[in-house]
Chains A and B, each alone.
Chain A
């Protein structure tokens, strides 16, 4: 098991390194002169040159990469072209906001998806299964911006049930924040529900058809016990790994949802930076997202080890 963990950590470090290379290279592809971008189109040429030198723009590629990485590791994420000030505090605040939204979406969709999938599996082929599967399928095919718009119109404008902006304002109460975050969370829930339910359903069906479930039934165990102790325990394992990888979709969805609902999260940060061509901000945002995602998959792997006896104990025969 220790070797497994070490391998995972090694992989994580490799991933982060590749992420940094990708982000850095993307930045290098971008046309334009950082000095000029910061000082604006009217600044004097030699001032631009001076700033460029200061920023180290003309050094060789590798040197620039290393110093950038060095900076990142120390928390220096660069200077925003738009705001002419360090990127770091913007990113930090945005990240926290996005985490709130993401966690809310997760807390709603994971139990819903699992229950939906399990129920669909227990009643395979019958109308409950069809309804859940088709609903999940349909919802997950609707892009977040479409469902988001529909929700805004229906609940926000027409029925006026929920606020259409996601931020409750500074110092708002938790309940108020929750109300504000609910609507934006729903498009994310829609997209993820189908996928999670489908995985849970597949895992449960496989467990139901397995030899060990047969043993449990033929032992004469009550149905609820068989499902709880034998089926679910094994069917949810693969579902957990899948949930972790779903954070990827979640993150993609954040960009759209935060824009629609006017929420200062990392998604809208990236979006705005992209529109403004504020590359340091864009790179920093993406880097941070990547790190969070990698950490999430690591957590999922740890969970998997904790829950799967085959990965934990040895396998010596007697």
Chain B
């Protein structure tokens, strides 16, 4: 690695032959409507042989643009306007077409986000992989054999069958594995991964990431890993570069950067992510104030200054150079030493909620009685797809019930049944305050509609793009709350300010708002009628990390203020843990475990829960136990017999009872139920002994 002087980092790079990738002062410009806009500015980083480098950033940071620029696959209006790139000593930016093709075929490979769409739907999978070998000169027969070998290497069992399949017949995880096989087939020097697992379930993601890590060692490939997920980057990469608004603001070994960040942006970003032990009541997430700068505006001074609490005139006057934090770390901040002490934008503890603090939120968050109950809830779709099977749940007044599950778990179906958007099977009962509810929302009285509302995942879909913000929020005020005239206007103003929107947003349409603002509108709409229960269906998964924190804080605030009860659905365990009082774990439509949040996290757990926790990468360090599930999630149209989890369960009993009989719900502590044949005491012992002594404790934010 190049050694850096304290103030200036333009020292000569290492000899190119040592580096798989060297990017030097690269600018990437897009031409939009006749004007040039800089998407990347003065970006420099190196990746050594066999090294794994992570590029982390939120949307608009330019991370994907960087990847495309390296292989010269920018859109027609984009170009590398300054700087140089060297891959294995070759310069892709000035190559002719034949050389570029050769580079792409032999030296660099890319794997993208949506595996299903990255494969030609009209060709068999095997053929597409074999193509890579054919370019390398093999005959078609040899190429097919090599392709099958590669499939085996990516741990696809029965590769022969997969070879003959068409892409639409593969699951997401399988398709991504095939794409990785294709990428690594020629043992490239550089493998670029752009959000490769974002679209995959947690347990599948864990397997794919493990696979990438193993193959990287085997093939001695350098890796450029691009993601918005800091935990994944921390797990997979040796070094990391943090991108903000097209600039690299900090760089260094991954664990160091995340453990002791030295740039205000990195500090702020890390504080947005809930950590183990952090709870909404005691330790609120911090946020990053302000907004991303719109691309292309001429920026004087530090690009992060407008949002930085440490910013001084110096920062706004001239852009800081790279400072060496250590031999191996740099930070682009005049105040990098003070960065960890960045003042919080949001106070950590919530102010006492005043008079109703005590019993408003049901006191200890859920000590109130059951508000909503579902009993024997089943839902089978036409075609025999069993989305839910005999689910019993109660949601207690004032609590946040976290609902966790991967695809096929039935969590969205559950929410829809609750709300009356999908009718459950006969015999299912949904009650509110003890009164059974009609399965169809259209037949529910207004009082029930008022009481049960939802915040959807995707605000682009959830808000009618032809309606103004004012119309979107006023409608439920008049329909559900029965307000009109001045009363309506007053309440509208109140709602707007409670979600931290402003009057000037009212006449705008959703398309004119950012993702975070749109979701605020959706939240305001959900609360307009004064609901008792609000279902939050992945409310932040479409948002950037920094925006996510603000929305979660908002939800927590509103819960206290409006005395609401939440059903919080998410695949993100960190969020669930931060926000929820109790947790329900669903797998293939059945409840696997339910209990108070910390108890479920502490153990003993259902083997599936255990695997889930083990699968999710965390900034808090390696999980004690390391369970990997094999295979794919079974199809809900054809669920396994007995315990639906038995096909992937690492703790399946040898007696065969798991295959034949549905397990009972065993109670570990009051309120903590686990659906398993294994006696709980045994489970507890096994899970405790298998966990290694806590390894690195992880890094506390801002540490």
A316 and B122 CA atoms in complex are apart in Å by 16
**Contact between A220 and B635 (Cβ–Cβ < 8 Å)?**
no
Query: Looking at the complex, which one of A217, A220, A313 makes contact with B106 (CB distance below 8 Å)?
Result: A220
Write the A18-38 contact mask toward B (1 if CB under 8 angstroms, else 0): 000000000000000000000
With a cutoff of 8 Å between Cβ atoms, the chain A residues found around residue B71 in the complex are 218
Segment 178-235 of A: residues with Cβ below 8 Å from B: 210-212, 214-222, 229-230, 233-234
Residues of chain A within 8 A of B666, CB atoms compared: none
Query: In the complex, A314→B119 CA distance in Å?
Result: 17
- Which chain B residue lies CB-closest to A229? B123
Decide if B112 touches A219 in the complex (CB within 8 Å): no
Q: A211-B114, A219-B132, A315-B168 are in contact. Are A309 and B120 (CB under 8 A)?
A: no
User: A308 CA to B168 CA in the complex, in Å?
Assistant: 11
Residues in A neighbouring B114, C-beta threshold 8 A: 211
CB neighbors of A among B619-667 (8 A): 632, 635
In-complex Cβ contact of B169 among A210, A217, A230, A317 (8 A): A317
* A222 and B101 contact, CB distance less than 8 A: yes
Q: Select one of B104, B121, B122, B166 contacting A219, CB under 8 A.
A: B104
Q: How distant is A121 from chain B, measured CB to nearest CB, in Å?
A: 14
Residues of A within 8 A of B131 (CB): 216, 219, 221
**Cα of A219 to Cα of B632 in the assembled complex, Å:** 27
B452 at the interface (CB under 8 A from A): no
Q: Write out the residue numbers on chain B whose beta carbons fall within 8 Å of the beta carbon of A218.
A: 71, 73, 104, 109-110
Asked if B102 CB lies within 8 Å of chain A CBs, one says yes
* Chain A, Cβ-Cβ closest to B162: A318
Q: Is B171 at the interface (CB under 8 A from chain A)?
A: yes
A204 → B minimal CB distance (Å): 14
Whether B117 pairs with A309 at a CB distance below 8 angstroms is no
Q: When the two chains form their complex, are residues B174 and A318 in contact, meaning their CB atoms are under 8 A apart?
A: yes
CB–CB A316/B182 < 8 A: no
Q: Does B55 contact A (CB under 8 A)?
A: no
Bound Cα distance from A216 to B129, whole angstroms:
10
State in angstroms the CA–CA spacing of A310 and B112 once bound together: 23
Within 8 A of B (CB), among A271-318: 307-310, 313-318
Determine if B179 is an interface residue (Cβ-Cβ < 8 Å): yes
Cβ contacts B146-166/A at 8 Å (1 or 0 each): 000000000000000110011
Across-interface contacts of A308 in B (CB, < 8 A): 122
Query: When chains A and B are docked, how far (Å) is the Cα of A211 from the Cα of B68?
Result: 13
Residues of B within 8 A of A219 (CB): 104-105, 131-132, 135, 182
B119 contacts which of A215, A220, A310 (Cβ < 8 Å)? A215
| Nearest Cβ on chain A to B382's Cβ, whole angstroms | 13
Most buried by B among A211, A316, A317: A317
Which residues of A have CB within 8 Å of B179? 215
Q: How far is the CB of A195 from chain B (nearest CB, A)?
A: 24
Pick the most buried of A214, A220, A230, A308: most chain B CB atoms within 10 A of its CB. Answer: A220
Given contacts A220-B102, A220-B104, A317-B174, contact A234 B121 (CB under 8 A): yes
Whether B120 and A212, one on each chain, are in contact in the complex, defined by CB atoms closer than 8 angstroms, is yes
Minimum CB distance partner of A222 in chain B: B101
B-chain residues with CB within 8 Å of residue A316 when the two chains form the complex: 169, 635
Q: Is B103 an interface residue (CB 8 A)?
A: yes
Of the listed residues B104, B131, B165, B170, the one surrounded by the most CB atoms of chain A closer than 10 A to its CB is B131
Q: Which of A217, A220, A233 contacts B122 (CB 8 A)?
A: A233
A220 to B110, CA, bound (A): 11
Contacts of B119 in A (CB 8 A): 212, 215
CA distance A251 to B94 in the complex (A): 55
Please tell me if the beta carbons of B635 and A212 are within 8 angstroms of each other in the complex.
Answer: no
Q: Beyond A220-B103, A220-B104, is A317–B632 a contact (Cβ under 8 Å)?
A: yes
| B residues less than 8 Å from A230 (CB atoms) | 120, 123
Checking A215, A221, A222, A234 against B118 with a beta-carbon cut-off of 8 angstroms, the contacting residue is A215
Q: Given A220-B103, A317-B169, A318-B171: A309 and B121 within 8 A (CB)?
A: yes
A contact residues around B171 at 8 Å (CB) = 317-318
For A211, list chain B residues within 8 Å (CB).
112, 114, 117-118
B166 touches A309 (CB 8 A): yes
Within the assembled complex, what's the spacing in Å between the Cα atoms of A218 and B117? 15
| C-alpha gap A308/B123 in the complex (Å) | 10
Question: Inside 8 A of B118's CB, which chain A residues have their CB?
Answer: 211-212, 214-215
Q: How distant is the Cα of A215 from the Cα of B179 in the complex, in angstroms?
A: 9
Q: A214 to B182, Cβ gap below 8 A?
A: no
A70 to chain B, nearest CB (A): 39
Q: Are A216 and B120 in contact (CB under 8 A)?
A: yes
When distances are taken between beta carbons in the complex, the residues of chain A under 8 Å from B162 are 318
Contact of B169 with A220 in the complex, beta carbons under 8 Å: no
Question: How many angstroms between the C-alpha atoms of A256 and B691 in the bound complex?
Answer: 84
Chain A residues with Cβ under 8 A from B104's Cβ?
217-220
A240 and B635 alpha carbons, distance in the complex (Å): 34
List of B residues within 8 angstroms of A212 by Cβ: 117-121
> B103, B118, B120 — which one has the most chain A CB atoms within 10 A of its CB?
B120
What distance in Å separates the Cβ of A177 from its nearest Cβ neighbour in chain B?
A: 39
Binary contact track B77-114/A, C-beta < 8 Å → 1, others 0:
00000000000000000000000011111100110101
Closest beta carbon of chain A to B33's beta carbon, Å: 16
Residue on A nearest B102 in the bound complex, by CB: A220
CA distance A158 to B279 in the complex (A): 91
Of B109, B110, B117, which contacts A210 at CB under 8 A? B117
- Shortest C-beta distance, B658 to chain A (Å), equals 22
Alpha-carbon gap, A316 to B632, bound state (A)? 12
In Å, the complex CA distance between A317 and B175 comes to 10
The reply to whether B105 and A309 contact each other, CB–CB distance below 8 Å, is no
Q: Nearest chain B CB to A245's CB is how many angstroms away?
A: 22
CB distance from B381 to the nearest CB of A (A): 15
A236-262 CB mask vs B (1 if < 8 Å, else 0) is 010000000000000000000000000
Interchain CA distance A234-B119 in the complex, whole Å? 12
Q: What residues on B are CB-neighbors of A310 within 8 Å?
A: 121, 166, 168
**Contact A234–B120 (Cβ < 8 Å):** yes
B170 lies within 8 A of A317 (CB): yes
Task: For the complex formed, measure the closest distance between the CB of A226 and the CB atoms of chain B, giving whole angstroms.
Answer: 10
CA distance A215 to B118 in the complex (A): 6
Mark interface residues in B4-17 (1 if CB within 8 Å of A CB, else 0).
00000000000000
CA distance A299 to B135 in the complex (A): 38
Identity of the chain B residue whose Cβ is nearest the Cβ of A307 in the assembled complex:
B122
> Which of A211, A214, A237 lies at the interface centre, i.e. has the most chain B CB atoms within 10 A of its CB?
A211
Complex CA–CA separation, A152 to B68 (angstroms): 56
Minimum C-beta distance from B572 to chain A (A):
24
- Give the docked Cα–Cα distance between A220 and B103 (Å): 7
Residues of B contacting A307 in the complex (Cβ-Cβ under 8 angstroms): 122
Instruction: Find the A residue at minimum CB distance from B185.
Output: A219
Contacts of B122 in A (CB 8 A): 233-234, 237, 307-309
In the complex, the answer to whether B168 meets A221 with C-beta atoms within 8 Å is no
What's the nearest-Cβ distance from chain B to residue A306, in Å?
12
Given contacts A221-B101, A313-B169, A317-B171, 20 further A-B contacts (CB under 8 A): A211-B114, A211-B118, A212-B120, A214-B118, A215-B120, A216-B120, A219-B104, A219-B132, A220-B103, A220-B105, A221-B131, A229-B120, A230-B120, A309-B166, A313-B166, A315-B169, A317-B169, A317-B632, A317-B635, A318-B171
Identify 9 residue pairs between A and B in the complex whose beta-carbon atoms are under 8 Å apart, listed by A's number.
A212-B121, A218-B73, A219-B105, A230-B120, A310-B121, A317-B169, A317-B171, A317-B174, A318-B161
Binding site for B on A (CB under 8 A): 210-212, 214-222, 229-230, 233-234, 237, 307-310, 313-318
Those 8 A-B pairs whose CB atoms lie nearest each other, nearest first: A220-B105, A317-B171, A220-B104, A211-B117, A212-B120, A309-B166, A233-B122, A211-B118
